[in-house]
A = this chain, B = another copy of it.
Protein backbone atom coordinates (compact mmCIF):
# COMPACT_ATOMS: atom_id res chain seq x y z
CA UNK A 1 0.00 0.00 0.00
CA UNK A 2 3.08 2.14 0.16
CA UNK A 3 4.24 0.95 -3.23
CA UNK A 4 3.67 2.08 -6.77
CA UNK A 5 4.37 0.55 -10.17
CA UNK A 6 4.25 -2.94 -11.57
CA UNK A 7 7.58 -3.75 -13.19
CA UNK A 8 9.48 -0.79 -11.84
CA UNK A 9 8.18 -0.98 -8.30
CA UNK A 10 8.74 1.87 -5.95
CA UNK A 11 8.10 1.77 -2.20
CA UNK A 12 8.66 4.49 0.36
CA UNK A 13 8.95 4.71 4.11
CA UNK A 14 9.44 7.35 6.73
CA UNK A 15 7.82 10.15 8.64
CA UNK A 16 8.42 13.87 8.66
CA UNK A 17 10.09 13.89 12.06
CA UNK A 18 11.29 10.30 12.35
CA UNK A 19 14.90 9.20 11.97
CA UNK A 20 14.87 8.94 8.22
CA UNK A 21 12.80 8.52 5.14
CA UNK A 22 13.64 6.70 2.00
CA UNK A 23 12.64 4.34 -0.71
CA UNK A 24 13.20 1.05 -2.40
CA UNK A 25 13.26 0.98 -6.18
CA UNK A 26 12.90 -2.53 -7.54
CA UNK A 27 13.09 -3.52 -11.18
CA UNK A 28 15.71 -1.09 -12.48
CA UNK A 29 17.37 -2.83 -15.42
CA UNK A 30 20.96 -3.86 -14.72
CA UNK A 31 23.78 -1.89 -16.27
CA UNK A 32 22.28 1.59 -15.97
CA UNK A 33 24.78 4.27 -14.98
CA UNK A 34 23.66 5.60 -11.62
CA UNK A 35 24.82 9.18 -11.46
CA UNK A 36 24.59 10.04 -7.76
CA UNK A 37 25.25 13.71 -8.35
CA UNK A 38 22.29 13.90 -10.68
CA UNK A 39 20.06 12.23 -8.09
CA UNK A 40 21.19 14.75 -5.49
CA UNK A 41 20.61 17.62 -7.92
CA UNK A 42 17.02 16.48 -8.35
CA UNK A 43 16.55 16.39 -4.58
CA UNK A 44 18.03 19.87 -4.39
CA UNK A 45 15.29 21.13 -6.70
CA UNK A 46 12.63 19.93 -4.25
CA UNK A 47 14.38 20.54 -0.94
CA UNK A 48 12.84 23.13 1.35
CA UNK A 49 14.16 26.50 2.46
CA UNK A 50 15.60 27.69 -0.85
CA UNK A 51 13.60 30.93 -1.00
CA UNK A 52 10.97 33.00 0.77
CA UNK A 53 8.32 31.28 -1.34
CA UNK A 54 8.93 28.07 0.54
CA UNK A 55 8.92 26.79 4.10
CA UNK A 56 11.77 27.97 6.32
CA UNK A 57 12.59 24.42 7.39
CA UNK A 58 16.12 23.73 6.20
CA UNK A 59 16.96 20.16 5.27
CA UNK A 60 20.07 19.11 3.38
CA UNK A 61 18.15 16.16 1.96
CA UNK A 62 21.35 14.24 1.39
CA UNK A 63 20.55 10.93 -0.22
CA UNK A 64 22.56 7.80 0.50
CA UNK A 65 22.36 4.68 -1.68
CA UNK A 66 22.47 1.51 0.44
CA UNK A 67 22.18 -1.22 -2.16
CA UNK A 68 21.67 -2.21 -5.77
CA UNK A 69 24.56 -0.24 -7.25
CA UNK A 70 28.01 -1.70 -7.84
CA UNK A 71 30.91 0.23 -9.34
CA UNK A 72 28.55 2.96 -10.49
CA UNK A 73 26.05 0.73 -12.25
CA UNK A 74 22.72 -0.78 -11.31
CA UNK A 75 22.94 -4.54 -10.73
CA UNK A 76 19.28 -5.44 -11.19
CA UNK A 77 18.77 -5.79 -7.43
CA UNK A 78 16.67 -3.34 -5.42
CA UNK A 79 18.11 0.12 -4.93
CA UNK A 80 17.51 1.36 -1.40
CA UNK A 81 17.99 5.05 -0.73
CA UNK A 82 17.81 6.78 2.62
CA UNK A 83 17.60 10.44 3.62
CA UNK A 84 18.18 11.18 7.28
CA UNK A 85 16.09 13.91 8.85
CA UNK A 86 18.33 16.56 10.40
CA UNK A 87 16.24 19.64 11.09
CA UNK A 88 13.27 18.35 13.03
CA UNK A 89 11.71 20.72 15.52
CA UNK A 90 9.30 18.30 17.05
CA UNK A 91 8.50 20.80 19.79
CA UNK A 92 6.77 22.95 17.17
CA UNK A 93 4.15 20.26 17.07
CA UNK A 94 3.31 19.72 20.71
CA UNK A 95 0.43 22.15 20.33
CA UNK A 96 -1.16 19.98 17.65
CA UNK A 97 -0.68 16.74 19.54
CA UNK A 98 -4.34 16.56 20.48
CA UNK A 99 -5.82 18.83 17.83
CA UNK A 100 -6.87 18.14 14.23
CA UNK A 101 -5.61 20.75 11.77
CA UNK A 102 -8.41 21.68 9.34
CA UNK A 103 -7.73 20.45 5.82
CA UNK A 104 -5.13 18.01 7.08
CA UNK A 105 -4.85 14.24 7.28
CA UNK A 106 -4.61 14.43 11.09
CA UNK A 107 -8.28 13.61 11.44
CA UNK A 108 -8.35 10.67 9.05
CA UNK A 109 -5.09 9.02 10.18
CA UNK A 110 -6.21 9.22 13.79
CA UNK A 111 -9.52 7.58 13.05
CA UNK A 112 -8.14 4.99 10.67
CA UNK A 113 -5.26 3.84 12.83
CA UNK A 114 -6.22 4.91 16.35
CA UNK A 115 -2.71 6.32 16.74
CA UNK A 116 -0.72 8.96 14.85
CA UNK A 117 2.74 10.40 14.80
CA UNK A 118 1.62 14.02 15.07
CA UNK A 119 5.09 15.51 14.61
CA UNK A 120 4.96 17.46 11.38
CA UNK A 121 2.14 15.32 10.05
CA UNK A 122 4.16 12.12 10.40
CA UNK A 123 3.72 9.94 7.37
CA UNK A 124 1.13 12.25 5.78
CA UNK A 125 3.64 15.08 5.48
CA UNK A 126 4.74 16.11 2.00
CA UNK A 127 8.26 15.54 3.28
CA UNK A 128 7.80 11.94 2.09
CA UNK A 129 7.92 13.20 -1.48
CA UNK A 130 11.70 13.58 -1.18
CA UNK A 131 11.82 9.81 -1.55
CA UNK A 132 9.72 10.03 -4.71
CA UNK A 133 12.16 12.51 -6.19
CA UNK A 134 15.11 10.22 -5.45
CA UNK A 135 13.40 7.32 -7.19
CA UNK A 136 12.17 9.57 -9.99
CA UNK A 137 15.73 10.69 -10.65
CA UNK A 138 16.74 7.12 -11.38
CA UNK A 139 13.71 6.71 -13.62
CA UNK A 140 14.80 9.85 -15.48
CA UNK A 141 18.29 8.41 -15.94
CA UNK A 142 16.71 5.35 -17.46
CA UNK A 143 14.42 7.38 -19.73
CA UNK A 144 17.36 9.50 -20.85
CA UNK A 145 18.92 6.41 -22.40
CA UNK A 146 15.80 6.10 -24.53
CA UNK A 147 15.59 9.76 -25.48
CA UNK A 148 12.58 10.49 -23.27
CA UNK A 149 12.44 13.68 -21.19
CA UNK A 150 10.02 14.84 -18.52
CA UNK A 151 9.59 18.56 -17.98
CA UNK A 152 7.31 20.68 -15.85
CA UNK A 153 6.61 24.08 -14.40
CA UNK A 154 4.02 26.18 -12.61
CA UNK A 155 1.32 27.37 -14.96
CA UNK A 156 -0.99 28.99 -12.43
CA UNK A 157 -0.87 30.48 -8.93
CA UNK A 158 -3.93 31.81 -7.15
CA UNK A 159 -5.77 31.98 -10.46
CA UNK A 160 -3.01 33.85 -12.31
CA UNK A 161 -2.50 31.72 -15.43
CA UNK A 162 0.49 31.31 -17.70
CA UNK A 163 -0.13 32.07 -21.34
CA UNK A 164 3.21 30.73 -22.46
CA UNK A 165 4.83 27.42 -21.43
CA UNK A 166 8.58 27.78 -21.33
CA UNK A 167 9.96 24.69 -19.63
CA UNK A 168 13.59 25.76 -19.92
CA UNK A 169 12.73 29.10 -18.40
CA UNK A 170 10.89 27.39 -15.54
CA UNK A 171 14.11 25.63 -14.51
CA UNK A 172 15.66 28.99 -13.67
CA UNK A 173 12.68 30.48 -11.83
CA UNK A 174 12.58 30.14 -8.02
CA UNK A 175 8.87 29.38 -8.33
CA UNK A 176 9.38 27.27 -11.48
CA UNK A 177 7.14 29.70 -13.39
CA UNK A 178 6.43 28.71 -16.99
CA UNK A 179 5.54 32.21 -18.12
CA UNK A 180 8.11 34.85 -17.28
CA UNK A 181 5.49 37.52 -17.89
CA UNK A 182 3.26 36.17 -15.14
CA UNK A 183 6.01 35.26 -12.70
CA UNK A 184 6.08 38.51 -10.77
CA UNK A 185 2.31 38.58 -10.30
CA UNK A 186 2.38 34.95 -9.19
CA UNK A 187 5.17 35.66 -6.70
CA UNK A 188 3.31 38.66 -5.35
CA UNK A 189 0.20 36.53 -4.81
CA UNK A 190 2.20 34.03 -2.80
CA UNK A 191 3.82 36.67 -0.60
CA UNK A 192 0.55 38.45 -0.05
CA UNK A 193 -1.06 35.25 1.15
CA UNK A 194 1.94 34.49 3.34
CA UNK A 195 1.75 37.90 4.97
CA UNK A 196 -1.95 37.33 5.61
CA UNK A 197 -1.04 34.06 7.40
CA UNK A 198 -2.74 32.25 4.59
CA UNK A 199 -1.74 30.10 1.59
CA UNK A 200 -2.58 29.79 -2.13
CA UNK A 201 -3.26 27.03 -4.61
CA UNK A 202 -1.45 26.46 -7.88
CA UNK A 203 -1.20 24.32 -10.98
CA UNK A 204 1.69 22.26 -12.30
CA UNK A 205 1.90 21.44 -16.00
CA UNK A 206 3.91 18.39 -17.01
CA UNK A 207 5.02 17.41 -20.48
CA UNK A 208 6.70 14.17 -21.48
CA UNK A 209 8.60 14.21 -24.76
CA UNK A 210 9.93 11.42 -26.87
CA UNK A 211 7.76 8.49 -25.75
CA UNK A 212 7.31 5.70 -28.25
CA UNK A 213 3.82 4.77 -29.45
CA UNK A 214 2.35 1.92 -27.44
CA UNK A 215 2.91 2.71 -23.76
CA UNK A 216 0.00 1.86 -21.48
CA UNK A 217 -1.63 -1.47 -20.65
CA UNK A 218 -5.33 -1.55 -21.41
CA UNK A 219 -7.86 -1.68 -19.91
CA UNK A 220 -6.99 -1.24 -16.26
CA UNK A 221 -3.42 -0.07 -16.32
CA UNK A 222 -3.95 2.55 -18.95
CA UNK A 223 -1.33 5.23 -19.28
CA UNK A 224 -3.76 8.05 -18.52
CA UNK A 225 -5.36 6.21 -15.61
CA UNK A 226 -2.00 5.43 -14.02
CA UNK A 227 -0.80 8.99 -14.51
CA UNK A 228 -4.01 10.21 -12.85
CA UNK A 229 -3.41 7.80 -9.97
CA UNK A 230 0.20 8.96 -9.62
CA UNK A 231 -0.68 12.65 -9.68
CA UNK A 232 -3.81 12.50 -7.52
CA UNK A 233 -1.77 10.60 -4.96
CA UNK A 234 0.61 13.55 -4.49
CA UNK A 235 -0.16 15.55 -1.37
CA UNK A 236 -2.68 18.36 -1.90
CA UNK A 237 -3.63 17.45 -5.47
CA UNK A 238 -7.37 17.73 -6.15
CA UNK A 239 -7.71 17.46 -9.93
CA UNK A 240 -5.84 16.02 -12.89
CA UNK A 241 -6.28 16.72 -16.58
CA UNK A 242 -4.87 14.85 -19.56
CA UNK A 243 -4.48 16.99 -22.67
CA UNK A 244 -7.39 19.44 -22.98
CA UNK A 245 -8.99 17.88 -19.92
CA UNK A 246 -11.94 19.87 -18.57
CA UNK A 247 -12.18 21.79 -21.82
CA UNK A 248 -12.76 18.58 -23.80
CA UNK A 249 -16.08 18.15 -22.06
CA UNK A 250 -17.32 21.49 -23.38
CA UNK A 251 -16.56 21.14 -27.08
CA UNK A 252 -17.66 19.11 -30.10
CA UNK A 253 -16.02 15.97 -31.46
CA UNK A 254 -15.00 17.77 -34.61
CA UNK A 255 -13.10 20.28 -32.48
CA UNK A 256 -11.58 17.79 -30.09
CA UNK A 257 -10.46 15.03 -32.46
CA UNK A 258 -6.85 15.19 -33.55
CA UNK A 259 -6.92 14.60 -37.29
CA UNK A 260 -4.05 12.66 -38.80
CA UNK A 261 -1.69 13.23 -41.72
CA UNK A 262 1.12 11.08 -42.99
CA UNK A 263 3.68 12.96 -40.91
CA UNK A 264 1.65 12.89 -37.72
CA UNK A 265 -1.29 14.37 -35.85
CA UNK A 266 -2.56 17.82 -36.80
CA UNK A 267 -3.20 18.80 -33.17
CA UNK A 268 -2.76 17.37 -29.68
CA UNK A 269 -6.03 17.83 -27.83
CA UNK A 270 -5.69 14.27 -26.57
CA UNK A 271 -2.48 15.03 -24.69
CA UNK A 272 -0.67 12.21 -26.42
CA UNK A 273 -2.89 9.36 -25.21
CA UNK A 274 -5.61 7.49 -27.13
CA UNK A 275 -7.47 4.57 -25.56
CA UNK A 276 -5.04 4.64 -22.66
CA UNK A 277 -2.01 4.15 -24.92
CA UNK A 278 0.60 6.72 -25.95
CA UNK A 279 0.36 7.87 -29.56
CA UNK A 280 3.85 9.33 -29.85
CA UNK A 281 2.85 12.98 -29.35
CA UNK A 282 3.85 14.98 -26.27
CA UNK A 283 2.06 13.69 -23.20
CA UNK A 284 0.54 16.67 -21.40
CA UNK A 285 -0.88 16.83 -17.88
CA UNK A 286 -2.23 19.55 -15.64
CA UNK A 287 -2.09 18.90 -11.93
CA UNK A 288 -4.14 21.07 -9.55
CA UNK A 289 -2.85 21.65 -6.02
CA UNK A 290 -5.03 23.03 -3.28
CA UNK A 291 -3.54 25.72 -1.03
CA UNK A 292 -1.42 24.37 1.84
CA UNK A 293 -3.89 23.50 4.59
CA UNK A 294 -1.40 24.49 7.29
CA UNK A 295 -2.11 28.18 7.77
CA UNK A 296 -1.54 30.46 10.75
CA UNK A 297 -4.96 32.08 10.75
CA UNK A 298 -7.25 31.04 13.58
CA UNK A 299 -9.63 28.27 12.57
CA UNK A 300 -12.39 26.17 14.10
CA UNK A 301 -11.46 22.66 14.96
CA UNK A 302 -11.81 19.90 17.56
CA UNK A 303 -9.46 17.94 19.79
CA UNK A 304 -9.03 14.18 19.65
CA UNK A 305 -11.60 14.14 22.46
CA UNK A 306 -13.97 16.05 20.13
CA UNK A 307 -13.88 19.28 22.12
CA UNK A 308 -14.27 22.42 20.03
CA UNK A 309 -11.31 24.80 20.00
CA UNK A 310 -10.22 27.85 18.04
CA UNK A 311 -6.80 27.01 16.82
CA UNK A 312 -3.80 28.94 15.43
CA UNK A 313 -1.08 26.77 13.94
CA UNK A 314 2.60 27.40 14.56
CA UNK A 315 5.58 25.96 12.68
CA UNK A 316 7.10 26.33 9.22
CA UNK A 317 5.04 25.76 6.09
CA UNK A 318 5.07 26.38 2.37
CA UNK A 319 2.72 29.20 1.37
CA UNK A 320 2.13 27.47 -1.99
CA UNK A 321 2.69 23.75 -2.00
CA UNK A 322 2.40 23.54 -5.79
CA UNK A 323 5.87 25.12 -6.24
CA UNK A 324 7.92 22.28 -4.83
CA UNK A 325 5.13 19.93 -5.85
CA UNK A 326 5.88 20.37 -9.53
CA UNK A 327 9.22 18.57 -9.05
CA UNK A 328 7.30 15.68 -7.49
CA UNK A 329 4.90 15.60 -10.46
CA UNK A 330 7.88 15.19 -12.77
CA UNK A 331 9.27 12.40 -10.62
CA UNK A 332 6.02 10.48 -10.53
CA UNK A 333 5.55 10.95 -14.27
CA UNK A 334 9.04 9.60 -14.89
CA UNK A 335 8.35 6.57 -12.69
CA UNK A 336 5.10 5.87 -14.55
CA UNK A 337 6.69 6.12 -17.98
CA UNK A 338 9.67 3.96 -17.02
CA UNK A 339 7.29 1.34 -15.63
CA UNK A 340 5.26 1.41 -18.84
CA UNK A 341 8.42 1.11 -20.94
CA UNK A 342 9.26 -2.13 -19.14
CA UNK A 343 5.70 -3.44 -19.12
CA UNK A 344 5.29 -2.86 -22.84
CA UNK A 345 8.12 -5.27 -23.63
CA UNK A 346 6.33 -8.46 -24.54
CA UNK A 347 3.26 -6.92 -26.13
CA UNK A 348 4.05 -8.55 -29.45
CA UNK A 349 5.17 -12.11 -30.03
CA UNK A 350 7.74 -11.08 -32.60
CA UNK A 351 9.28 -8.71 -30.07
CA UNK A 352 9.57 -11.57 -27.60
CA UNK A 353 11.24 -13.80 -30.16
CA UNK A 354 13.64 -11.02 -31.17
CA UNK A 355 14.59 -10.41 -27.53
CA UNK A 356 15.55 -14.03 -26.91
CA UNK A 357 17.35 -14.60 -30.18
Contact = CB atoms under 8 A, between A and B. Distances in A.
Given A76-B113, A341-B356, A1 B9 contact: yes
Interface stretch (A44-52, A170-178, A180-188, A346-354): A346-354
A289 B249 CA distance: 5
Q: Which of A7, A64, A295 has the most chain B CB atoms inside 10 A of its CB? A: A7
A226 to B, nearest CB: 7
Contacts of A241: 238-239, 288
A263 to B, nearest CB: 9
Given A222-B232, A229-B226, A306-B262, A288 B31 contact: no
20 contacts: A1-B219, A3-B3, A4-B220, A15-B77, A19-B66, A21-B66, A21-B67, A30-B113, A31-B348, A198-B254, A199-B252, A203-B249, A238-B241, A239-B246, A239-B249, A252-B291, A254-B297, A262-B306, A342-B345, A355-B355
Q: Which of A66, A198, A243, A251 has the most chain B CB atoms inside 10 A of its CB? A: A66
A120 interface: no
A89 interface: no
Q: Which of A117, A124, A218, A276 has the most chain B CB atoms inside 10 A of its CB? A: A218
A115 B72 CA distance: 11
Given A29-B348, A29-B349, A66 B253 contact: no
A349 B74 contact: yes
A201 B346 contact: no
B114 A30 contact: yes
Contacts of A67: 13-15, 18-21, 123
A29 to B, nearest CB: 4
B73 A146 contact: no
A136 interface: no
A7 B343 CA distance: 8
A344 interface: yes
A308 B74 CA distance: 28
Interface string A185-212: 0000000010010111111000000001
